[in-house]
Amino acid sequence: MENIISKQFRGIIIAGGTGSRLSPITKVLNKNLLPVYNKPAIQYSIELLRNAGIKDIAIVAEQRYIDDFKVVIGNGSAINVNLRYFADTDAKKGPAQAVAFAKDFAQDFNTVVVAADNIFDIDISKDLAEFKSGAKIFAKKVADPTQFGIAEIDEDGNVLSLEEKPKFPKSNLAVPILHIYDKSLFGYIDRLQPAPDGEYYLTDVNKMYLKQNHLKARVIDSFWIDVGTFEGLTIASYYWYQKIRYLGQSTIK
């Protein structure tokens, strides 16, 4: 099964962002290379994809950080993946534009997109094995849905609506950047219009799939956190410390 997945899918890891909430550390180091327990943060995203059977992975980052990534994780051979690096030449244009920089690498494949500063403990191998077309997102209940992109999902996993940081949310299901897309992805990105802030968002790509009734979702109850803050870094490190040192077994769901 792993061999089939590796032939059908490629991974794209978005490793951008200024890391302003982690200043002054991020004045000299990309936030995705900061340690989460015993690994650089980005390695959790790489291993998420690898464990699901994806071996060919693109890392999209600002040019000034690419050499740092190469020093820390190299070409991926040490962790049994093949890494390619792509420069995000306009990091202020948002996550969808970052994905577009890896178009030549992934356009002929189904694609899994994940943000490097989102740390998950999740197994998506079954999701990939069952994936045929369209797109699939993952959602998790949160205490304050006004701070996230939110999905309204029915009991069959169909997405009914998507909202970005709504004042009056229709659900409490946040949508982190972990998305599965078919080969239509880059065609949709090419058609995107910028949001009022000038950025291009994957939420708007997902809305295009939704409009065609091609968007599914899975609600997860496993670990997920944004490590773009000192609090997030601390929580993530403690989670993996407990799991690796004490539990000795996976808590993936």
The predicted structure's pLDDT at residue 251: 44
Integer Cα distance of 253 and 243 in angstroms: 14
Boundaries of every domain in the chain: 2-247
**Residue 253: pLDDT band by 50, 70, 90 thresholds?**
very low
pTM of the predicted model, to two decimals? Answer: 0.94
More confidently predicted of 245 and 236? 236
Q: Which runs of consecutive H residues, i.e. helices, occur in the chain?
A: 2-8, 41-51, 63-73, 95-100, 103-106, 125-130, 185-190, 202-211, 230-242
Count other Cβ atoms within 10 Å, centred on residue 85.
Answer: 17
| Fold (topology level) of 2-247 | Spore Coat Polysaccharide Biosynthesis Protein SpsA; Chain A (3.90.550)
Integer Cα distance of 126 and 123 in angstroms: 8
Q: Is the dihedral of CA 34, 83, 86, 198 positive or negative?
A: negative
Express as a percent the part of the chain with pLDDT over 70.
96
Count other Cβ atoms within 10 Å, centred on residue 92.
Answer: 11
